[in-house]
Amino acid sequence: MSILDGWWIEGCLEGMTGWAIGHSEEVAESDGEETADLYEKLEHIIVPMFYGRPSAFAEVIRSAIVIYGAFFNTLRMVNQYVSNAYFRQAEE
């Protein structure tokens, strides 16, 4: 669960790989909007699932690992960083 920035913009499949705080990539008008969404999802979706349907909660976690484990990892991040930061500099 996170706000929609960084890799979570690409990674969030609502309810399948986790949950987004807020409704878009744009900055919320106020912290109150994001706070209200956070508490709403915790109270009505995440906490009831965690305690009432733990197998459904575990399925969300498994889905995130299966779908993104091979792509959103440190090896890819370091390779992309080296490629973009160092090899592009050498080519110029």
List helix spans (H) across the chain. 8-11, 31-41, 47-52, 54-68, 74-82, 88-91
> In the prediction, which pLDDT does 88 show?
66
Please identify which residue in the block is written with the tokens 């109150």. Answer: 32
The type of residue at 67 is I
Please identify which residue in the block is written with the tokens 């949950």. Answer: 19
What is the spatial distance between Cα 89 and Cα 16, in angstroms, rounded to a whole number?
39
pLDDT over threshold 70, residue 8: yes
Question: How many domains is the chain partitioned into structurally?
Answer: 1
Q: What is the pLDDT of residues 26-65, one digit of tens each?
A: 665 667 888 999 999 999 999 999 999 999 999 999 999 9
**Which residue segment(s) compose the domain that 67 sits in?**
2-91
pLDDT over threshold 90, residue 72: no
